Amino acid sequence: ITSSPPQHINLENILEYYIEVEDNNSFNPLNRTKEKHIKTSILKGPKGMIVSNQKLLWKPEAQDIGPHKVTIIAEDGIDKAEQEFTLYVNDTPSIITADSISVKLGDTLRHVLTAKDSNKKNNLTYSIKSNLEGLTLDASSGEIIWVPKKEDLGAHVIEANVSDGFDSMKAGKKIQILVYDFPKFINSPPKEAYVDIEYKYNIEAEDAYGGIVKNKDVFVSLVNTTFVDLFFDSAKQQLFTTPVNEDIGTQTIELKLEDKEGRYINKIFEINVLMSPCETVDTLYINQNQTMQKETVNKIEDKEIKKKKKEKKKKEKKKKEKKKKEKKKKEKKERENEKETPPSQTGPEEEEGIKTRGFKIPGSRYNKTEE
């Protein structure tokens, strides 16, 4: 037997080994006839292995994994030749990792490839086919490490394979890597609101790809609020309220922001509600350029307030001057009355505990002006 036998076969393959025999005898030694007279057969081998037309055939099963001793024989009726060899049935390892993994933009992807191999003692080696920049693989452990960038947003496909050292025609496994990010609010509502003044928040948001079209790229819904009365316009994605006294203090608005791929975030905003200032009807709002504007109707101007204060001081001054004049006039009249009063006789200045000094007591005999 001059042919070389196979050393191994993969479990999913079929063994076909053609047995080549060299025989210098052209004639059958038994009948001297020129004919094909070499006979081949199997002397020892696993169950199901046969020889047909000088070809060794066998399809291994799962229970056949491992080594098998095989002996084949070739004979011409007088002499024979044997060939012994060991055939190893190998279970080709396969990647059993999930066919889809994901990583958030800004995070590091760390994923370990896993494989199935019934040959427990085999050392496995991993490999991948990928065009992703920066993606690395540890061939021994099967760990994939990658830090995606902004331009990597979206789905990517790599092909992972594993080998146990034996040749295999088995295709690798395709794995999808999805790089994603959550939508985000571009602006925030005004942090302060005032009682009896209309409060308005025009919501601006974008998805991971920069899409800002309302109700197409981004979708906003009102989850909860502590305001007594708040209106949400889902079509325009705007919030309106006119705070009342019950709202004074810190109030909250919880919004849900979702993109067209179903990824969403919930965010709570805090608003400090204060007493109304000197305005009657004000509107606070954020426009698309994220600038704060303030429009005032029927506002009491500062100069008017100053004018009123000035007028009040003027009136108080006039009032004081008037009182001062009246006092002087009264004092003058009293002095005139004193001059007109005739001098009286000297008498006691006190009677029954009453002391007089410059005053006239009607009906008293002690009316006297004390100098």
- For residue 291, the one-letter residue type is T
For 94-180, give the CATH class. mainly beta
The pLDDT of residue 319 is 85
CATH 2.60.40.10 domain extents, the chain: 94-180, 184-274
Span 335-346, average pLDDT: 61
Q: Which residue type does 121 have?
A: K
**pLDDT tier at 29, thresholds 50, 70, 90:** low
Evaluate if residue 253 carries a pLDDT over 50: yes
Average pLDDT over residues 364-368: 45
Of residues 30, 35, 29, 42, the one with CA closest to residue 74: 42
Which of 139-153, 176-190, 202-216, 275-289 is the least confident region? 275-289
CB atoms under 10 Å from CB of 25, counted, come to 12
Side chain identity, residue 115? A
Query: What's the confidence (pLDDT) of residue 304?
Result: 63
Per-residue pLDDT tens digits for 38-72: 889 999 999 999 999 999 999 999 899 999 999 99
Residue 222 has a pLDDT of 98
pLDDT confidence bin for 333, thresholds 50/70/90: confident
CATH number of 8-90: 2.60.40
CATH topology of domain 184-274: Immunoglobulin-like (2.60.40)
Does 168 score more than 50 pLDDT?
Answer: yes
Total-model pTM = 0.59
Q: Residue 339 — pLDDT band, cuts 50, 70, 90?
A: low
Higher pLDDT, 368 or 329: 329
Q: What percent of the chain has pLDDT over 70?
A: 79
303 contacts 295 by C-beta, under 8 angstroms: no
Q: Report the range of poorest mean pLDDT among 149-153, 206-210, 303-307.
A: 303-307
Whether the per-residue pLDDT at 317 is higher than 60: the answer is yes
pLDDT at residue 113, rounded to an integer: 96
pLDDT at res. 300: 43
Overall average pLDDT of the 147-165 stretch: 95
User: What tens digit of pLDDT does each residue of 77-131 get?
Assistant: 778 899 999 999 998 889 999 999 999 999 999 999 999 888 776 789 999 999 9
Q: For position 256, what pLDDT does the model report?
A: 98
Residue 360 has what pLDDT?
Answer: 47
* 8-10 and 80-90 beta bridge pairing: parallel
